[in-house]
Structure 1
Amino acid sequence: MTNNKAILSLISLFLLLGGCTSTQGFDAKAQQYNDPKDPIEPFNRAMWDFNYDVLDAYLLRPAAVAYVGVMPQFARTGLLNMAENLEEPSNSLNNLLQGKIEGTFISLGRFVLNSTVGLLGLIDVASELGIEAEEEEFGEVLGKWGVGTGPYLMIPAWGPTDIRSGVGDVVDSSYSPLDSLNFYVSFFRTGIKVLESRAAVISQEQQLNSSADPYSFVKSAYFQNLEYKVLDGKVLVSEEEEALDDDIDAFLDDF
C-alpha cells in the first residue's frame, strides 16, 4: 500500500487540475459506458478533453512553467505556506467532527503558531517544530458518516469530483477565515495552490501519457484516493486475503 499511496498522492495533484493528459487514440464511441459511478461518462470524457486540450495546454501549464521560472523558491514556499495555513481552522473542525481530538488541537495549534510567530503563515514554524499537519476535508467527514460519493463528475476548469466531495468543498469554504476572504485574496490563494500542484507534476506527465486510457486511469485513482483518505490509509482486507496472509506468516515462521 505504500507504493499505492505514493502513486495516489501524485495522481491527486493531477485531479486538482482537471487531468493533464489527452485521450488521443482512444475510441470513446467504442467504450461501453457501464460504470455505475460514472453515469454521464460521455459528457465527462468530453470535459476531460476540453480541460487538457484547451485549458491545460494554453493556460495552466504555461502559467505554471512561468511561475516556477520567475518566482524564487523561498517566495513560492512562503506563499504556499500562507495558503495552506488558512485551511487549518477547517482541518481542526473536520477532525473534531470525526472524533479526532488530537488532530483538532494539532490543527488549531498550527494555525495559532504559524499565524503569529510564522508571520501570518509565511513561515511554517509548526512543521519546523515537528508538528505536522492533520489535513481533513468535510467530504471525508461525510464519508466517515457513511455518505456515498454519488456520481463522478468532470467539471470544466475544475476537474474530477463527485457529489459528496463537491458538497464538502462548499462547506469547507464556509469555515472562517476562508469565508471572510475577499474575492481577490481568495483567487490569489487558490491560484497559488493550483500553480504549485501543476508545477509539481510537470516531470511526471509521461506516467499518464503512457496509459492506454488516461480517463479511466485517473477516475480509478480518484476513487481509490477518496477511499484511502476516508479510511486514513487503512487497507480493507477480505477474510480470504487475511487467511492467506496468516498462512504465509505461519509458513515463514517455520524457517
Structure 2
Amino acid sequence: MLRWRWLLGGIFASSVLALSGCATVNGPGSGTSGSGRPPLQTFNHTMFHVNMGLYDYVLEPVSTGYKAVTPGFVREGVSNVFSNVGMPYIFINDFLQGRVQQGMEDLSRFLVNSLFGVGGLVDVADKLDLPMHDNSLGVTLGVWGVPQGPYLVLPFYGPSSLRSLPGLAMVMFTGPAYYLTSTPAQYALSGMGVINTGYVDGPKIRMVQEAVDPYQFMRNAWEQHEQYLISGGVVSKSQLLEGLSLPPPTGTTPAGNESSVNTKGKH
C-alpha cells in the first residue's frame, strides 16, 4: 500500500501549492492575485500542457492500440464495469447532498448491474431506464456552501480546484483497487482503468485540443459543469453558453430577463 501513501502525499502537496496561491488572492472569491492574474496560472498552464503531452504521446497511442486489438463488445463491457465500480462514490455523495431520489436511483443502478449484469459487465439498469448521474465530493462541498477556491490543474488527473482535492482521496477509498490484497492485481486494475479512461475520454480531449484557446476552454467547461451539478441541473441558457465562450443563439432573450431552465437529464 506504499504507493497509495505517495499518491496521497502528492494530493496534499498540490493542496500546499494551492494554498500558497491563495495567499496572494485579493480576498475571498476574487479569483485574481495581487498582480491581477488568476492564482496558480503559471503552474496550471504548465500542467495542462504536460497532461496534453502525456495524452498525445502515451495515452492516445495506447488507447488506439487497445481499440485495434479489442472487439467492440469487450470494450463496452470493460467501460460498463468501470462505470459500475464508480457508482458507490456517486451515490454516497448523492445522499450527502440530501438528494435522496437521485441517490436511490444511483444505488439501484449499482445493485441491479452488480447482481444481474455480471458485476456491471452488462448495463441492465439502462434497459430499466435507471438514469446514470455524475457527482463528486467537490460538488457535495459546493452544495454545502464551501467556495471553489483557486482553479487547479493536477498532474495526470486534469482540471480540479482546492475544494475538489479531498474528493481524490474519497475516490481511492471507495474504489476496488484499494482493497485488493494482491499488488499485481492492483496494478493491473489501475492500468486497465487508465486505458479505459483514455479510450472513453478521447473524443472530449480532442475537442478541447481543437479549441481556439484549449486551456481556457477546458477551464470554462469544467467550472460550468461543476456549477451545473451543484445547482442540480438548474442553469440559465446564457450561463451554459457563457461558460464555453460561445455566442448566444439567434433570438435568445437578453441576459437578466430570461428564466432559468432545468436541463437535468439532458446534459
Give the alignment's TM-score, normalised by structure 1. Answer: 0.71
AA paired with 1:118?
A: G
Bigger drift between 36-45 and 87-96 goes to: 36-45
* Alignment map for 1:144-159 (pairs within 5 Å): 144-159=143-158
The superposition leaves residues 129-155 of structure 1 with CA deviations (integer Å, 9 ceiling, x where unpaired) of 111223321111111001111212222
Aligned-CA RMSD value: 2.7
Q: Is the 8 A contact 1:87 1:178 kept in 2?
A: no
The superposition leaves residues 196-226 of structure 1 with CA deviations (integer Å, 9 ceiling, x where unpaired) of 2343347x54x64340x22122212221121
**Structure 2: segments with no counterpart, 5+ residues:** 1-29, 240-253, 260-267
Structure 1 residue 51: Cα displacement: 2.0
**Structure 1: segments with no counterpart, 5+ residues:** 1-33, 247-255
Paired position in structure 2 for 1:48: 48
**Greater length-normalized contact order (CA 8 Å, ≥ 6 residues apart):** 1
Paired position in structure 1 for 2:197: 194
Cα distance change on mapping 1:181 and 1:233 into 2, 3 Å = farther
Bigger drift between 74-83 and 44-53 goes to: 44-53
Paired position in structure 2 for 1:167: 166
Cα distance change on mapping 1:128 and 1:192 into 2, 3 Å = farther
Paired position in structure 1 for 2:210: 209
The superposition leaves residues 211-254 of structure 1 with CA deviations (integer Å, 9 ceiling, x where unpaired) of 0x22122212221121112112211589x845x348xxxxxxxx
Paired position in structure 1 for 2:84: 85
Q: How many residues align?
A: 207
Bigger drift between 43-52 and 176-185 goes to: 176-185
* Alignment map for 1:97-116 (pairs within 5 Å): 97-116=96-115
Structure 1 residue 156: Cα displacement: 2.3
Q: Is the 8 A contact 1:94 1:141 kept in 2?
A: yes
Cα distance change on mapping 1:76 and 1:104 into 2, 3 Å = same
* Alignment map for 1:1-255 (pairs within 5 Å): 36=32, 38-53=38-53, 55-175=54-174, 177=176, 179-181=178-180, 183-184=186-187, 186-188=189-191, 190-201=193-204, 204-205=206-207, 208-211=209-212, 213-235=213-235, 241-242=255-256, 244-245=257-258
Q: Is the 8 A contact 2:113 2:122 kept in 1?
A: yes
Structure 1 residue 49: Cα displacement: 2.0
Cα distance change on mapping 1:181 and 1:164 into 2, 3 Å = farther
SS in structure 1 of the partner of residue 120 of structure 2 = coil
